[in-house]
Amino acid sequence: MLTIATETFSQVAAEAEQLAAAHWDEVEAALHDAQRYRLDHERYASLERLGMLHISAARGLAEDDHGATSNTSGAPLAGYAVFTLVSCPHCPQTLLAALDGLYLAPGARGGLFALRLLRHAESALAARGVNLVQYSSPASRPCHALYRRLGAQPTETIWHKTLPPAPAKAAGTKAAGTIEEDS
C-alpha cells in the first residue's frame, strides 16, 4: 500500500537520487540533449533551509518484474511532488508554490494516486500559507487532465530556448548584465 507524507529533503535525499535519475531518463533527457543527471543536493538543502521547499513523498510497496510486491527497505520512496516556494515580486501578498518535479515509479502508477499525491501537497502548502500553485509538465508528457481535475486552469504557455554559451569578452568591454539595443 502506498502512503503519502510531507518529508524533508534530508529524509528523501539518499533514495531520491535513483528515483530522480529514473525521472530524468524517462521524461526530461530527450529535452536536454545527452546530459547525465545529477541531483543537486546542495541546492535542495539550501532551498529547504530558506523555507522555500516542499516535498510530498509517496512511499510503500513497489511491484517487481513478476507483479509481486516487495518492501525491502521499510517503505521505499515510490514517488514525489516537489515544489519551490517564492513570494511573487509583482503580487507581494501571494506566496507561490511552483511544481519542480512530479514523478511516480512505474509500480506506483495507476488509479488516482497522482491526484492523491498532489491533493496532499496542496493541503500541506495551504497550511504553510501558499495561496497560488503553479503546475507545469513537459510538452511530451502533458498533465492537463490531472491538473484540471485538481481545479487548476491554464494561464500561460511557456516556451524555452537554449542559448549558446556567451563568447569570452575582451578586457575593457561592457560589464556583464549590460543590455545593448538592437540597431
Domains of the chain with bracketed CATH: 3-149 (3.40.630.30)
Q: Which stretches in the chain have pLDDT values below 70?
A: 23-25, 27-37, 61-74, 169-183
pLDDT of residue 107: 85
Query: Is this structure's pTM higher than 0.75?
Result: yes
Q: How far apart are CA 79 and CA 60, in angstroms?
A: 10
pLDDT of residue 72: 35
Please spell the DSSP secondary structure of 52-106, one letter per residue.
-EEEEEEES-EE-TTS-EE-TTSS-EEEEEEEEEEEETTEEEEEEEEEEEEEE-G
Alpha-helix runs per DSSP H in 88-159? 113-127, 144-149
pLDDT of residue 171: 59
pLDDT of residue 20: 75
